[in-house]
Chains A and B, each alone.
Chain A
Amino acid sequence: IAGITQAPTSQILAAGRRMTLRCTQDMRHNAMYWYRQDLGLGLRLIHYSNTAGTTGKGEVPDGYSVSRANTDDFPLTLASAVPSQTSVYFCASSDSLEAEQFFGPGTRLTVL
């Protein structure tokens, strides 16, 4: 593994289903982030984690949850997917809060 990986690459999901997007980094970065990117809008922060064991809410946290059991992994869970959660989801990490963020390749999620 080099950098940040995300899985799956894309997914079509029925509304009401539970879904977990996976994110793993091998750079030993302290901070990790989940964003969604929608056409015509800037990246919007869903949740973040400053360090393993801690998480925080971003701009658009409703309907999403995260956990940070260790440094490398930061999964994002949609408990009951809705069509408005159709988006491209990017995971990112940074060595510290003020440092540049490195992005994973993204997960394209469609909720029908």
Chain B
Amino acid sequence: GAVVSQHPSWVICKSGTSVKIECRSLDFQATTMFWYRQFPKQSLMLMATSNEGSKATYEQGVEKDKFLINHASLTLSTLTVTSAHPEDSSFYICSALYGYTFGSGTRLTVV
């Protein structure tokens, strides 16, 4: 139980375009989800907290206008990287249930 499905697994996009990443809880309701970013050979850094029905809260240094988070239902949170640039290339991972379960991750490459 407690599975979080994340799509896509990988995406390559051109600089300046936007990319949407979905994180869906399959067998439970997630009022809160967390989004992390991991650069190559580094640890995970919390980007934001996604709250169902309300605005996301962002960690210091994370641009909320660049990383748009929508948590429109109890089972779906989305992260949209707007106007992506090569420095946004990273591994993005969502989490639910207070760290007990993570999505499979999305590797974003911006060219």
The answer on A and B forming one complex is no
B residues engaging A (CB < 8 A)?
none
